[in-house]
Amino acid sequence: MHEDPSDWLLRCKPERVKLLQCGVVPGENDDAIALQCDTAAFAQYQSRLAHLAASGIKVVAERSEDLLDSYAMIDPRGRFRQAHSDGYVESAPIDEVGVEMAWQQVGANIIERFRARGGEYDSGAPSLGLCHPIIAIEGLDGTGKSTVVRALSERLNATTIGCPPSRLRAERAVADTLEPEERRKWYWHSNQEAMKDATDAVFRGQTVVMDRSFASTAVYGAAERGEVAALEHVSRDLARPDHIFFLALDEEERQRRLQGRGDTRTSEETRLAEDDAFRQRVIEGYRALGVVWIDARGTVDEIVDKIMGRIGDNEHSAGSRSQSSSQSSESSKHAAIGRPIRRVTRPFIGARPNAVENDRNRSQGKHGASH
């Protein structure tokens, strides 16, 4: 009751914020009594956020008693559900008795209380959707991943974020000396940190291009265990990029490029080159996670064009150099509220694991993947 999320809300720029006073409904959440705050404390909390109105953010406060007899919900069994002072009441299943009868069973006289608490309002124009996406590029060494990341960032005027972030360079050096299980735990942590950085950039109105993502940690961790990664291996609380693209080359061409670079191979890269079964598990893991295959043959511009075509005009146009500052500001607002759960899977925001596009038709041959 003493917190003040003003700074965060100003960054998110929602059009409407609802403050709910905790209420205890008998038989539903009796153990939540300790979470209640009194009316005076709730009013103080509301007053701390009143200044947001000057920034175009409407703050709506609802006391616990406002929530009684003014909401109608449908439960998983298809019944209307309504909160009364003495607990919840449920209707018969709607598909059995019809909407009107079920509505009467929970008390159909809530409309005035619903309106009195401001439940009926103009919701405004539809969201423009995601205008500042988070895009991750995956690919084995030799597929041109780093070069494509730079070129795509330049094309989109985007912020580039590594996964792990460069600010964790010293920690990563230590983590790479750990046993596999502990090393992977650290990499999962670094995935969260990278997505925090990416989310912060989006809230500032910037498109983000990431060099690698959680997918690398998932597929390599599974491959080391002799398994193929699956979405079930990825925590639902982990924020994910909006797009993950995998730069695919046949193994012969990838090895030819690596030899031309003359880089010293890591133990993992050596295993990818020499252990066909391990490499295949990595490849199948990326496919199972639904990343989008991009043919990494051709010029850098041609590869970037392929990626741009998969992102969609509505998204990549917001980050382009031609976008005006006023448009970017408006797009940032919609980015924060259009698809809120995807990257907001952070401890202080919320969560929706983001779905990534699947393109199995391009998943051919012995393609590589990055770690």
Does residue 353 belong to any structural domain of this protein? yes
Identify whether residues 139 and 209 lie together within a single domain: yes
Closest CA to 148 of 109, 164, 158, 334: 158
- CB atoms inside a 10 Å sphere around CB 32: 12
Does residue 75 belong to any structural domain of this protein? yes
- CB atoms inside a 10 Å sphere around CB 298: 12
Mean pLDDT by 10 residues, the chain (371 residues): 84 85 77 82 90 90 79 85 81 92 81 77 66 91 91 96 95 91 93 94 92 94 93 85 94 84 68 88 93 94 95 52 34 30 32 34 35 46
Closest CA to 342 of 44, 132, 87, 161: 132
| Domain closes at, from 83, 116, 149 | 116
Residue with tokens 């970037």: 304
Q: Is the dihedral of CA 154, 157, 163, 165 positive or negative?
A: positive
Identify whether residues 164 and 78 lie together within a single domain: no
Cβ proximity of 101 and 84 under 8 Å: no
What SS3 state is found at 273?
Answer: helix
Cβ proximity of 137 and 209 under 8 Å: yes
| Domain closes at, from 116, 145, 167 | 116
365, 152, 231, 140 alpha-carbon torsion, rounded to 10°: 40
- CB atoms inside a 10 Å sphere around CB 126: 8
Identify whether residues 56 and 168 lie together within a single domain: no
Identify whether residues 161 and 61 lie together within a single domain: no
Identify whether residues 27 and 74 lie together within a single domain: yes
Does residue 186 belong to any structural domain of this protein? yes
CA of residue 188 relative to chain centroid, distance: 15
Does residue 1 belong to any structural domain of this protein? no
Identify whether residues 70 and 197 lie together within a single domain: no
Q: Are strands 80-84 and 73-74 parallel, antiparallel or unpaired?
A: antiparallel
Identify whether residues 103 and 162 lie together within a single domain: no
Cβ proximity of 250 and 364 under 8 Å: no
For 147, how many CA atoms within 13 A lie in the half-sphere containing its CB?
13
C-alpha to C-alpha distance for 134 and 204, rounded to whole angstroms: 13
Does residue 121 belong to any structural domain of this protein? no
* Enclosing domain of residue 142: 134-362
Q: For residue 336, what are the contacts with CB-CB under 8 A and spacing of at least 6?
A: 11, 12, 13, 14, 202, 203
137: left (phi over 0), alpha (psi -120 to 50) or beta: beta
Identify whether residues 108 and 153 lie together within a single domain: no
Does residue 128 belong to any structural domain of this protein? no
Does residue 123 belong to any structural domain of this protein? no
18 bridge partner residues: 60
Identify whether residues 95 and 174 lie together within a single domain: no
The domain that contains 180 carries what CATH number? 3.40.50.300
Counted domains in the chain: 2
pLDDT at 344: 35
Q: Which two tokens stand for residue 344?
A: 């907001």
Residue with tokens 């007053």: 47
| Domain closes at, from 87, 116, 145 | 116
Identify whether residues 89 and 156 lie together within a single domain: no
Identify whether residues 94 and 141 lie together within a single domain: no
Does residue 184 belong to any structural domain of this protein? yes
Identify whether residues 211 and 325 lie together within a single domain: yes
